[in-house]
Amino acid sequence: MEIFSAAHITKQYAAHKALDDVTINVPEGSIFGLLGPNGAGKTTLIRIINQIIAPDAGDLSFLERRLLPKDVENIGYLPEERGLYKKMKVGEQALYLAQLKGLSRREAEKRLAYWFAKFEIMSWWNRKVEELSKGMQQKVQFIVTVIHQPRLLIFDEPFSGFDPINVNMLKEEILNLRATGSTIIFSTHNMASVEELCDHIALINNARKILDGNVKAIKDQYSTNTFEVHFNAFDQDLRSILPENFEIVKTGMDDAFHVARIRLPKETKPNDLLSLLMPHVTIHSLNEIIPSMNDIFINVVTDREAAQ
Amino acid sequence: MKKILLIIRREYLTRVKKRSFIIMTILGPLLMAGIVIVPIYIATTTNETKQVAVIDETGLFYEKFKMSDNIRFHYLETDIKSAKENFGKSDDYALLYIPRTEIALPVNAILYAGTQININVKSYIRNVMSKRIEDLKLEAQLRDITNGNSSQVDLDNLLRSIKTSVDISTIKIGSDGEEEKSYTEVSMVLAIFGAILIYFFIFMFGSQVMRGVIEEKTSRIVEVIISSVKPFQLMMGKIIGVAMVGLTQFALWVVFTFIIITAVTSTFTGKTMSQENPKQLTEQLTGGFDPGQVISLPGEPQQEEMTNEVMAAISSIDFPVMIGSFLFFFLFGYLMYAALFAAIGGAVDSEADTQQFILPLTAPLILAIVMAQFIVQDPDGPMAFWLSIVPFTSPVVMMIRIPFGVPFYEVAISMTLLLLGFLATTWVAAKIYRTGILMYGKKVSYKELWKWIRHS
């Protein structure tokens, strides 16, 4: 089932098209990566999902019906531009933001007590936000994003500005939330930071969606069938034992081992490579070189530009 | 709806808990009470005796003006023309002229003086006259009743029908004998005071709204909030919340000022505060004063009489009308400007960038307050009329005119236009606001704002 989908979304600002016929489908329970360079239109799309701005054209659906204003209570949003009232007390502020998401005061107090205890910040309840360290403010920020247990969570550039310890905590909590049934959308230009987490992605460039789908399927599709082999000392030329169509991308040394990166012809399996190598060398390891999202993105963009 | 209440609540509570609010709440009444008390203090301590000549063509007030330590009255038998001519040569402080009336009881009198007329003198004369006329009316009514002309006696109606307010116009006679109308009236003080208060309140609370919006923008919390509520709800919640802070401040000022004045004047007169608690005082204040209540009884100490006369002068003001119109013109004047202040806050990145927008926005308010001195001179003139009709200046200018009396339909037009002005500015402001709060790091020009209004 799709928890959210946007169909043929177009948004035009005065002289600039922010989104051009963009369609995305977010499967329920997935971690969905909305990827693309800065200025591609990701934040515009996310603001449309959060009903902060309205699209010029296109349909939005939530839980397989039309997206409604009250659905904001089922969506948690951590914007890229985020912050808290500096002069307000932490607890009071968290209560306020939780109530704005539709929780009753009592329910909000109960849940905040749980989260504040979990992050060990209960003693800061009556302190002003400006007295908190940046890291603690980020914890509070995260709590108020998830406090209403939304079915859909949206994080825009989630790891920018977070220190490494908090990034790990954040990743862990996000996986916990997914385990309890939430769907997560990540939007970022830093593809490496989320690709290990995402199971679905959409690539956006210049206001258009250029690629989307299951991460595994995309990676298979863009696989170059390249493998990296670590092996023991070998005095012959590698070229002499491999057929013509096996391309040696590079060779070198890594500590005590020789390393070679070899691109196999299509339809050839790594087993074929192993059987060719085994009579001559002692193999220490063999790994597939999986293209990163960044590589795939550059690949798709250059292909498209070449096609035009 | 529940969410906008949450926003209003937060905006209200964070502001009334601030130290600056508490300081303002204490300083305001001290200042206002000072304005009232200082003249009383001077009036009660001065030993100078003022001599007032009286020409009473009606003969109704003969011997009614009592001598006191501070004012002495003497009656002239001459006609007004020669009295005026001789006025400069006499030692008289003022000349009271009560013209003959044909049928009705006199409700007008003219007070000629060489200098600005002392407020105490004037209020004393006014009180004596209205008391006398009320007595005469009461006598007539009672005669009617005893003669059987009225079958029923409705005490409320009776009291209302005898209630009289006397209009005393003051004319300054220059040394060259030239006459010039002067306004030393309480109403003039009140007019300027009300105008300044409205000006000050709109400015102060309008810029509080603007600063609040800038705070939300620079602390980057605004997008977190508008993912839960509509930008319009956030803007209106803030505007209404701050309006309630303003009303609270005003209410506290009124109550505290009154408490201070009563406390100080009762120390003067030896009365203790225990007789009247603050709650009753506010009731009196909002329910309007009855001048008769405060007028001293014969035989009480002279000093008390004097003080009470000033109190009576103040209490002769129609407080329900004054406070009611102040509340309306403050509230809607504020609402109209606050929406635009919010739009400015939304459009800029920091308070430093606001200047280019604030000046044109507040120009009408500044114009109104600059014009105040001329409007007081001629509260029914064309300038006063037009400035009190145009929504951007009407809150200030109407407050100046109201103490002098304004035809009902003019007030109605002014109020309607102000209401429409509020709706219009809010509509425009909401468009600028909702685009602006999501824009960072962009220097905004008027051209850019116009684009936002047209395209959103």
Is A100 close to B3, i.e. CB distance below 8 A?
yes
- Higher-pLDDT residue of B10 and B138 is B10
- pLDDT value for B419: 95
- pLDDT value for A258: 85
Q: How far apart are CA A95 and CA A147, in angstroms?
A: 10
B177 has a pLDDT exceeding 70 = no
- pLDDT value for B315: 56
How open is the CA angle A177-A179-A181, to the nearest 5 degrees? Answer: 75
Q: Summarize the confidence of residues B111-130 as an average pLDDT.
A: 75
Beta-ladder partners of A78: A155
How many C-beta atoms surround the C-beta of residue A101 within 10 A? 23
- pLDDT value for B276: 41
* Integer CA distances (angstroms), B386 to A81, B155, B195, B454, in order: 47, 43, 16, 30
* Eight-state DSSP code of residue B244: H
Q: Summarize the confidence of residues B21-41 as an average pLDDT.
A: 79
Is A52 close to B220, i.e. CB distance below 8 A?
no
Of A170-179, A284-293, B40-49, B210-219, the range with the lowest mean pLDDT is B40-49
Q: How far apart are CA A34 and CA B312, in angstroms?
A: 75
Strands A57-62 and A2-13: antiparallel
- pLDDT value for B83: 80
Contacts of B455 in chain A (CB under 8 A): 13-14
Q: Summarize the confidence of residues B40-55 as an average pLDDT.
A: 69
- Amino acid at residue number B137: K
Strands A2-13 and A16-27: antiparallel
Q: Of A145, A38, A8, A175, which Cα lies nearest the Cα of A82?
A: A145
For residue B364, give the 3-state DSSP assignment: helix
Contacts of B229 in chain A (CB under 8 A): 100
Q: Of A300, A112, A306, A285, which Cα lies nearest the Cα of A222?
A: A300
CA nearest A145 in B: which residue? B224
The chain A residues in contact with chain B (CB within 8 A) are: 13-14, 47, 50, 52-53, 72-73, 75, 77-79, 81-88, 96-97, 99-102, 141, 144-145
Q: Summarize the confidence of residues B272-292 as an average pLDDT.
A: 42
How many A×B Cβ pairs under 8 Å?
Answer: 62
Cα-Cα end-to-end distance for chain A? 36
Token pair for A128: 């002003």
* Integer CA distances (angstroms), A49 to A55, A185, B232, B266, B310, in order: 9, 11, 18, 66, 66
- Residue A26's H or E segment, with its range, is strand A16-27
- pLDDT value for A266: 82
Residue A188 distance to chain B (closest CA, Å): 17
ipTM of the complex: 0.83
- Higher-pLDDT residue of A234 and B47 is A234
Is B224 close to A72, i.e. CB distance below 8 A?
no
Q: What are all long-range contacts of B396-399, with beta carbons under 8 Å and residues at least 24 apart?
A: B396/B195, B396/B198, B396/B199, B396/B333, B396/B365, B396/B368, B396/B369, B396/B372, B397/B195, B397/B368, B397/B371, B397/B372, B398/B325, B398/B329, B399/B191, B399/B194, B399/B195, B399/B197, B399/B198, B399/B325, B399/B326, B399/B329
Q: Which of B4, B12, B223 to mutate to test the interface with A (most CBs of A within 10 A)?
A: B223
- pLDDT value for B73: 84
- pLDDT value for B294: 40
- Helix intervals (H) in chain A: 42-49, 90-100, 105-118, 134-146, 164-179, 191-194, 215-221, 238-241, 270-277, 293-307
State which of A224-233, B111-120, B122-131 shows the largest mean pLDDT.
Answer: A224-233
Residue A98 distance to chain B (closest CA, Å): 9
Contacts of A78 in chain B (CB under 8 A): 224
Give burial (CB, 10 Å; 0-12/13-18/19+) of A199: middle
Q: What is the pLDDT along chain A (308 residues), one digit of tens a residue?
A: 889 999 999 998 877 889 999 999 999 999 999 998 888 899 999 999 999 989 999 999 999 899 998 898 899 999 988 889 998 999 999 999 999 999 999 999 999 999 999 988 899 999 999 998 888 888 899 999 999 999 999 999 888 877 888 888 888 988 999 999 999 999 988 888 777 888 899 999 989 998 899 988 888 888 888 899 888 877 777 788 888 888 888 888 887 788 888 988 888 888 988 888 888 888 888 998 888 888 888 888 888 888 87
CB A291 within 8 A of CB A222: yes
* Eight-state DSSP code of residue B375: H
Q: Summarize the confidence of residues B310-318 as an average pLDDT.
A: 57
Torsion of CA B296, B297, B300, B306, to 10 degrees: 20
Q: How far apart are CA A153 and CA A149, in angstroms?
A: 9
- pLDDT value for A38: 86
Torsion of CA A282, A287, A288, A291, to 10 degrees: -140
Q: How far apart are CA A264 and CA A229, in angstroms?
A: 12
DSSP helix, strand, coil percent of chain B (3-state; round to 5): 65, 5, 25
- pLDDT value for B15: 93
Is A82 close to B227, i.e. CB distance below 8 A?
no
Q: Summarize the confidence of residues B50-61 as an average pLDDT.
A: 82
Q: Where are the beta strands (DSSP E) in B5-162?
A: 50-56, 71-75, 94-98, 108-113
- pLDDT value for B179: 61
CA nearest A44 in B: which residue? B438
- Residue B88's H or E segment, with its range, is none
B160 has a pLDDT exceeding 90 = no
Residue B16 distance to chain A (closest CA, Å): 13
- Amino acid at residue number B125: I
| Placement of tokens 């960044």 in the chain | A294
Contacts of A47 in chain B (CB under 8 A): 438
For residue A191, give the 3-state DSSP assignment: helix
B360 has a pLDDT exceeding 70 = yes
Q: Summarize the confidence of residues B424-433 as an average pLDDT.
A: 94
Strands A200-205 and A208-214: antiparallel
Q: How far apart are CA A138 and CA B141, in angstroms?
A: 80
In the sheet that holds A57-62, the strands lie side by side as A16-27, A2-13, A57-62, A65-66
- pLDDT value for B117: 65
Q: How far apart are CA A28 and CA A181, in angstroms?
A: 8
Is B6 close to A96, i.e. CB distance below 8 A?
yes
- Higher-pLDDT residue of B88 and B293 is B88
Q: What is the 3-state secondary structure (H, E, C) of A265-297?
A: CCCCCHHHHHHHHCCCCCEEEEEECCCCHHHHH
Is A81 close to B223, i.e. CB distance below 8 A?
yes
State which of A286-290, B245-249, B315-319 shows the largest mean pLDDT.
Answer: B245-249
Cα-Cα end-to-end distance for chain B? 24
Residue B15 distance to chain A (closest CA, Å): 11
Strands A152-156 and A183-188: parallel
What is the maximum alpha-carbon separation in chain B?
Answer: 86
Handedness of CA A245, A247, A253, A257 (dihedral sign): negative
How open is the CA angle B217-B220-B221, to the nearest 5 degrees? Answer: 95
- pLDDT value for B298: 41
- pLDDT value for A303: 84
- pLDDT value for B215: 92
Choose among A13, A86, A144: nearest Cβ to B219.
A86
- pLDDT value for B235: 95
For residue A104, give the 3-state DSSP assignment: coil
- Helix intervals (H) in B17-92: 19-45, 80-87
Choose among A14, A72, A84: nearest Cβ to B221.
A84
B436 has a pLDDT exceeding 50 = yes
Q: Summarize the confidence of residues B120-140 as an average pLDDT.
A: 81
